Amino acid sequence: MAHPQMFDDDDPLLEQVRAIALALPGALEKVSHGRPAFFTTRVHCYYGGSVRIEGEWHAHDQAVMLHLPPAETAALGQDPRCFVPAYLGASGWIGLDLDERTDSQELAELVEESYRTVAPKRLVARLDDAAR
């Protein structure tokens, strides 16, 4: 059974994440489990997530889920905007709630760092070459 779409294409925060994520070398978008997923050969970020607390699901519809280096994940885990997403949290992913006050530069840096942890080395090299 297909998952229902769990996002609004007109969401300005999704547009912000989409612009950042798709600007990275080789990045594409697909819908996975009802949510936007940005990937090369592996997913580097998702838009939206959820947590399960005492048997109940709590959606984080305006959030980005990231796969960061362990030290960065641990540091972000102290931030009240962050959460450990259901299913992916056990694999080192962390969620960051977004709102109109979200700092675009911080978001771009986090999405890029997540990309660097999962993208093929040749694509990371293209990113580094473009930065020079």
Residue 25 burial (CB count, 10 A): 17
Q: 45: which strand partners?
A: 38, 66
What are the pLDDT digits (tens) for 110-122?
A: 999 999 999 999 9
Per DSSP, what are the bridge partners of residue 67?
93
pLDDT at residue 131, as a whole number? 82
Write down the pLDDT at residue 130. 87
Domain covering 12-125 in this structure, CATH number? 3.90.1150.30
Domain chopping of the chain, boundaries: 12-125
Q: What is the average pLDDT value for the chain, to the nearest integer? A: 95
| Residues in the chain, pLDDT under 70 | 1
> Could you tell me the pTM of the whole model?
0.94
pLDDT on residue 1: 66
Q: Which residue has the tokens 């992916």?
A: 88
pLDDT of amino acid 109: 97
